[in-house]
Amino acid sequence: MVAIPQEVLDLMNDKAAVKTLLTSCKCGQPHGIVCGSIFAGPDGKVGVGEVLMKRSKQYLAETGKAAMLITAGPKSFELVLKNPVRMDSGPVFDNLKEVLGKMNLPCFGVWLFDVDEVWNESAGPGAGTKIA
């Protein structure tokens, strides 16, 4: 597991940033969804609330392959993820369920991941550079 650089954490916490979860089925077909509930935990893991995930949930269970793309303006970072774990109880789940409930969104679970790699995908000279 690698540490998430501060500039990536800052973008992850930016409400204007677009946060996308990318998964892949066992036949290799990629699938992406926008997830406003992406967050960084204090333990260095990243998570996402299971709100309307249908295929993503299935693909995570099938392959465990996932990535996150976080973008705002020309800044963009990809987090390559591993070791997905789904929780539907406990303090992390309860906290996110409360936050999403205030937005009238259901929370059926929380997926937590280790961050394996972080890539700069920004529009600029650093594009395609592994930063962690």
Residue 82 has pLDDT above 80, yes or no: yes
Count up the domains in the chain and report the number.
1
User: What are the helix (H) ranges across 40-109?
Assistant: 55-63, 91-101
User: How many whole angstroms from its chain centre is CA 126?
Assistant: 22
Residue-wise pLDDT for 11-69, tens only, equals: 999 999 999 999 999 999 999 999 999 999 879 999 999 999 999 999 999 999 999 99
Whether residue 96 lies inside any domain: the answer is yes
The tens digit of pLDDT for each residue in 91-127 reads 999 999 999 999 999 999 999 999 999 999 999 999 9
CATH number where 91 lies: 2.30.110.10
The domain of 82 spans: 6-130
Q: Is residue 1 part of a domain?
A: no
| Residue 18 maps to a domain | yes
